[in-house]
Amino acid sequence: QKWRARAARVIPDGSFGHVRPEYYPPAYPQFYGRAAGARIWDVDGNPYIDLMCSWGPMIVGYRRPEVEDAYRREAEQRELAFGMSPRAVELAERFVSLVEGADWAMFQKNGGDATMLAVTVARQATGRRKLLRATGSYHGSTPWFTPIQAGITPEDRANLIEFAYNDVDSLEAAAREAGSDFAAAILTPHRHDTDSDSVPIEPGFARRLRELCDRQGAALILDDVRAGFRISMAGSWAPLGIAPDLCAFSKCIANGYPLAAVTGCERLRDAAASIYATGSFWYASGPMAASLACLEILEREDGIATMNARGTQLMEGMRQQADSHGVAAVLSGPSAMPDLTFQEGAPR
């Protein structure tokens, strides 16, 4: 409570974005002091199991020694060098070798950076403006996608056309509306909108989206920011046999260190090279070294299988707990990304 009071004096509303104070009851822990493995401790010393994975970035555990050692070794040499580190090249090679349909990679800091870059590349490559997205989907807090439109002008979203997730008729109508100005469509691997249950992608819908993009010369962007390297090491639609033209990653790719990535196919390479997109910290090499270590751990330890097994165990346990207490709970989503909501009240 002391930290909340201090924050309220110097930070608008005390905090912002997805940790705004109105999202938390007064007694809910909002300030944290340390973390290790799967656990976090608030500033009062109370321990918790972090089933949220720090809103997604943690995947092999807080303070995982191999990741921390890789970051420290790199930071001791050049963390913010004047130019590129060899780690950038090595990590791009790693992404290209792992991700289905990837011929190149570029690195950023946040998921919003990655989706924004992907859309910009698509528009440059096609010379078009219209962007298709599913109603309610979250792709970052940029003016194009932010769910809270305070401070956003209608012009910011004038080239956005929405369709209903998994609804082929709605998708086809959106593509017809875009017509010859159809630059790209962006979609999450499964529907995981805020304040709603997760819904699997219907393979036929995904294939139809791929067909429409191919037929109309538009780019297919997969927003794998949340799900990337949790569903498949080759990209979340690789099990469907569908390769996007552009894929946006972030969250867990560096196990808590700030990093995002966009991978793309060969035909979009020149467009990616011609746009201007950068940031003062985009070439920081410490997070890239951490990412190399994180990806190595996921491959070596078969992280996908482990997450599926532990996620299944967690979902079954929560169902049993809900039933035993007579609570109407809904468990949804892939087992590596469990989602819990209550039929009465807000999602938990």
pTM: 0.95
For residue 317, is pLDDT > 60? yes
Of 156-170, 195-209, 299-313, 334-348, the one with minimum mean pLDDT is 334-348
Distance CA 1, CA 155 (A): 41
Residue type, position 70, single letter: A
pLDDT at 201 over 70: yes
Q: Which parts of 102-163 fold into alpha helices (H)? A: 111-126
Asked whether the beta carbons of 60 and 229 are under 8 A apart, the reply is no
pLDDT at 325: 93
Cα 315 from Cα 129, distance rounded (Å): 42
The Cα–Cα gap between 229 and 130 comes to 29
Task: Give the CA angle between residues 173, 163, 236 to the nearest 5°.
Answer: 120
Residue 81 in this model has a pLDDT that exceeds 70 = no
pLDDT band at 26 (very low <50, low <70, confident <90, very high): confident
- The mean pLDDT value for 184-196 works out to 94
State residue 28's pLDDT score. Answer: 87
C-alpha–C-alpha distance, residues 208 and 204, integer Å? 6
User: What amino acid occupies position 72?
Assistant: R
DSSP tag of 238: G
Q: What percent of the chain has pLDDT over 70?
A: 98
Residue 347 has pLDDT above 60, yes or no: no
Residue 94: half-sphere exposure toward Cβ, Cα within 13 Å: 23
Over residues 300-313, the mean pLDDT reads 97
Residues 81 and 288 sit within 8 Å (Cβ to Cβ): no
Contacts (Cβ under 8 Å, ≥6 apart) of 118: 184, 186, 219, 221, 246, 247, 248, 262, 264
Instruction: Tell me the pLDDT tens digit for each residue of 217-252.
Output: 999 999 999 999 999 999 999 999 999 999 999 999
Cα(258)–Cα(14) distance, rounded to whole angstroms? 23
pLDDT confidence tier of residue 38, bands split at 50, 70 and 90: very high
Calpha distance 213→210 (Å, rounded): 5
Name the token pair of 108: 């950023």
Please state, in angstroms and rounded to a whole number, the distance separating the CA atoms of residues 164 and 221: 16
Task: Report, as an integer, the average pLDDT of 85-100.
Answer: 97
**311 sits in which H/E element:** helix 303-324
The predicted-structure confidence for 44-70, as pLDDT tens digits, reads as follows: 999 999 999 999 999 999 999 999 999
- What's the confidence (pLDDT) of residue 345? 53
Structure tokens at 316: 């079954």
Q: How confident is the model at residue 135 (pLDDT cuts 50, 70, 90)?
A: very high
Indicate the pLDDT class of residue 91, thresholds 50, 70 and 90: very high
**Average predicted confidence (pLDDT) for the chain:** 94
Q: How far is CA 142 from CA 116, 145, 322, in A?
A: 7, 6, 37
- C-alpha Rg value of the chain to the nearest Å: 21
pLDDT-derived band at 348 (thresholds 50, 70, 90) equals very low
CA pair distance 229, 291, nearest whole angstrom: 12
Query: What is the per-residue pLDDT for 346?
Result: 41
Mean pLDDT over 28-42 rounds to: 95
Mean pLDDT lowest among 73-77, 187-191, 295-299: 73-77
Q: Alpha-carbon distance 146 to 289, whole Å?
A: 31
In this structure, are residues 252 and 58 in contact, taking their beta carbons and an 8 Å threshold?
A: yes
Average pLDDT of the segment spanning 134-152? 92
